[in-house]
Amino acid sequence: MFQTFKEWFWLERFWLPPTIKWSDLEDHDGLIFVKPSHLYMTIPYAFVLIIIRHFFQKFIASPLAKTFGIKEEVQKKIIPNAVLENFFKHSTRKPSQTDIYGLAKKCNLTERQVERWFRIRQNQDRPCKMKKFQESCWRFTFYLIITIAGIAFLYDKPWVYDLWEVWNGYPRQPLLPSQYWYYILEMSFYWSLLFSLGSDIKRKDFLATVIHHLAAVSLMSFSWCANYIRSGTLVMIVHDVADIWLESAKMFSYAGWKQTCNALFFIFSAVFLISRLIIFPFWILYCTLILPLHYLQPFFSYIFLNLQLMVLQVLNLYWSYLILKMLKRSIFTKSIRDVRSDTESEHEEEEEEEEEKEEATEGKETDRLKNSLGANRHLIPNGQHGC
């Protein structure tokens, strides 16, 4: 049964233009052509990247963060309370005022103590700036290296300057060593991001991120098997070039360098909007959707490739909307906050301010009590202070 499915899955009419056979893409005369089996190496390479990432974050990102003044945050401890913990885990992380009143009565606490317990408990699950900085530093480093490598691999390729060359001789286009490593490293990186989703910071666009990573892996795998390597490398370089600026802006944001962060974010916004909303649809999609029709009749893999690219463009539009929201916020509030921020972090600043005010109020009450006692001491006869 498996063999039957395998034969059906690899039918030439699904992957190749009419009249082209898999035998036409066999290695010959020193020319190497893509093979689906090449992609097996992306999985072990993904785990290698995860190991490299671990040591990078420990020995490079962490010291760099400390250089920027980012310290490991010491979480405030809370008094263990089984009732409140059970409510926190199984009911809601944000109890209503009625819930707080009932929990206070049940635990023999004041409402303020219950509110404070939940606030500290929420903060314990919130990722610290050090972890955020480490993740952004790793992604910045990879995107920087892969973008430089992509430019080095592509700068002398004729199809970068003449899109007709993308389809010249397709699909009998041999695989170059630079194309192999560019594809394999990029795919391995996205596999590593998928494998580390459980431990990475969970943001509001978590679902969109998962879809993006899966779409990226699927698109690269499919384009590899159908030998859309030339157009695939163009898609990758266009999408990598903006991410460098985003991750660097986030690093400076976590370090508190607001002006540098804002400048980098504006550069990122310009690069992203130009590359994803102008170059990608009007250059890449034109290359994959329109130009092939001058060489070939539409066939299954041509249609499937462009459907995946359109899904990618929908995600680009979604992220462009988020970016424009952040730009609007920065123009009117003079500050940039990532609207994709980690879960519930949009209330983080407000909660911290509320907690600081609460602590300040408690401190003032304590000082007022001490001052009151001190002021009344002269009314107490000598020798009676020990009551």
User: Whole-angstrom Cα distance, residue 329 to residue 14?
Assistant: 47
pLDDT at residue number 73: 67
Q: Which two structure tokens, joined as six digits, stand for 117?
A: 């317990």
Closest CA to 189 of 249, 236, 224: 236
Q: How many helices (H) and strands (E) does the chain have?
A: 17, 0
Among 88-97, 100-109, 227-236, 262-271, which stretch is predicted with the lowest mean pLDDT?
Answer: 88-97
Looking at the chain, the whole-number percentage of residues with pLDDT higher than 70 is 84
Q: Which two structure tokens, joined as six digits, stand for 306?
A: 């462009």
* pLDDT for residue 36 is more than 90: yes
- Looking at the DSSP assignment, which residues form a beta bridge with residue 31? 28
pLDDT at residue number 205: 66
DSSP-derived letter for residue 277 is: I
pLDDT at residue number 129: 86
* Confidence label for 345 from pLDDT (cuts 50, 70 and 90): very low
Alpha helices in 155-257 (DSSP H): 158-161, 177-195, 206-225, 229-240, 243-255
* pLDDT for residue 360 is more than 50: no
Task: Tell me the pLDDT tens digit for each residue of 176-219.
Answer: 999 999 999 999 999 999 999 877 877 776 787 788 788 889 99
Q: Which two structure tokens, joined as six digits, stand for 310?
A: 């359109």
User: Whole-angstrom Cα distance, residue 76 to residue 122?
Assistant: 11
Mean of per-residue pLDDT scores for the chain: 84
Burial of 329: CB neighbours in 10 Å, binned 0-12, 13-18, 19+ = middle
The arithmetic mean of pLDDT across residues 355-372, rounded, is 46
* Confidence label for 26 from pLDDT (cuts 50, 70 and 90): very high
Q: Helix or strand or coil: residue 106?
A: helix
* Confidence label for 125 from pLDDT (cuts 50, 70 and 90): low
CB atoms within 10 A of CB 256: 12
Give first-to-last CA distance, the chain, whole Å: 91
Query: Which residue did the predictor score with more confidence, 205 or 85?
Result: 85
* pLDDT for residue 383 is more than 50: no
* pLDDT for residue 374 is more than 60: no
CB atoms within 10 A of CB 59: 10
Task: Tell me the pLDDT tens digit for each residue of 205-258.
Answer: 678 778 878 888 999 999 999 999 999 999 999 999 999 999 999 999 999 999
* Confidence label for 386 from pLDDT (cuts 50, 70 and 90): very low
pLDDT at residue number 338: 55
Q: Helix or strand or coil: residue 94?
A: coil
Residue with tokens 């602590």: 359
Q: Which two structure tokens, joined as six digits, stand for 69?
A: 């003044």
Half-sphere exposure of 312 (CA within 13 A, CB side): 26
* Confidence label for 85 from pLDDT (cuts 50, 70 and 90): confident
Looking at the chain, the whole-number percentage of residues with pLDDT higher than 90 is 54
User: Whole-angstrom Cα distance, residue 93 to residue 293?
Assistant: 55
Task: Tell me the pLDDT tens digit for each residue of 263-304.
Answer: 999 999 999 999 999 999 999 999 999 999 988 889 999 999
**Prediction pTM value:** 0.79
* Confidence label for 82 from pLDDT (cuts 50, 70 and 90): confident
pLDDT at residue number 72: 74
* Confidence label for 373 from pLDDT (cuts 50, 70 and 90): very low
pLDDT at residue number 372: 44
